[in-house]
Structure 1
Amino acid sequence: MQVDFYHLTAMPLDRALPQIAAKVVAGGGRLLIVAADEVQRAGVDRLLWTYAADSFLPHARAGGPDDARQPVLIAGEVNAANGARNIALVDGEWRDDALDFDRAFHFFDEERIGGARAAWKALAARDGVERRYWKQNEAGRWEQAA
């Protein structure tokens, strides 16, 4: 299982998340996006409708009758009703339940860096977990730093 830590410094979540989600879906995968806060989930829902004028990323908020059919599902807890094998934790909070997926994307900013560091260290001792740390360079591109 792979855990990608994305340290949001220059690029905000609303630009980084759609790129990751689009790549997962384009590759035939499904994604569960998790945020504890209802306001943030509503914001992610709006974002995925409007992030690009020339594309559409099919998605829904968890709790609907068609959850199982959604390529991207936005939820308040780790429950992949859409059968996702990829999870994006977008509120900066690490959840060990993410280790049940094939790949986890953990997004965090400066306010949540302490929790991200603790998760990074804790995952070092886990068998079968490959960690990657991504940061943005001066041009705003993602570089693997660890």
Structure 2
Amino acid sequence: MAEILFFHLQSRPLEQVLPTVLERALARGQKVVVQLSSQERLGVVDDHLWTYADDSFLPHVTAMEADAAANPVVLTTLDHNPNAAQVRICAEGVRIPDAMGDYERIVLVFDGDDHDALTAAREDWRKAKASGHAASYWQQDETGRWEKKA
């Protein structure tokens, strides 16, 4: 059964949160697939991961690249797993996959100020719980730190 984490963004945007989530997964030796809502957002996140820190970058490719299967982090807009990832990150309106059991961990990152995203996350929470998966809900405080709420 997959562990499903719900990350409720409030004080920091996806671009500031995603590198830390990716670094932690890579430190555990896990491959990650990140599904974004559009090609435009994929391009923004792709560029950001190369430049988010002066002394670091995250090795990654987009699913359109020929060597996607061999890379530890793949960015995509499709509901597939091109690098046989153990972790799937669903962001910006992307819903948790029906095939939750194909992953060790699923991370749903959603904007708490977006009513539609909040409603969809609540539906996904019910879906995850009804399927018997371990689910936890994390919310940012004013400083951007994560607090476990459920």
| Common topology (TM > 0.5) | yes
Match of 1:106 in 2: 108
Report matched runs for 1:1-146 at 5 Å: 1-97=2-98, 99=100, 100-109=102-111, 110-111=113-114, 112-127=117-132, 129-146=133-150
Question: Structure 2 unaligned runs (5+)?
Answer: none
Provide the rounded CA distance (Å) in 2 between the counterparts of 1:139 and 1:74. 28
The answer as to whether partners of 1:98 and 1:104 remain within 8 angstroms in 2 is no
Measured after TM superposition, the shift of residue 119 of structure 1 is 1.0
Change (3 A) 1:13 1:74: same
The answer as to whether partners of 1:6 and 1:106 remain within 8 angstroms in 2 is yes
Provide the rounded CA distance (Å) in 2 between the counterparts of 1:56 and 1:77. 24
Measured after TM superposition, the shift of residue 118 of structure 1 is 1.1
Change (3 A) 1:93 1:65: closer
* Amino acid in the other structure paired with 1:6: F
TM-score (norm 2): 0.91
Question: Structure 1 unaligned runs (5+)?
Answer: none
SS at match of 1:11: coil
The answer as to whether partners of 1:78 and 1:98 remain within 8 angstroms in 2 is no
Provide the rounded CA distance (Å) in 1 between the counterparts of 2:106 and 2:99. 6
Change (3 A) 1:30 1:114: same
Percent identity between the aligned chains? 34
Measured after TM superposition, the shift of residue 15 of structure 1 is 0.6
TM-score (norm 1): 0.94
Residue-by-residue CA offset, 1:40-66 (whole Å, 9 max, x unaligned): 111110111111111121000002211
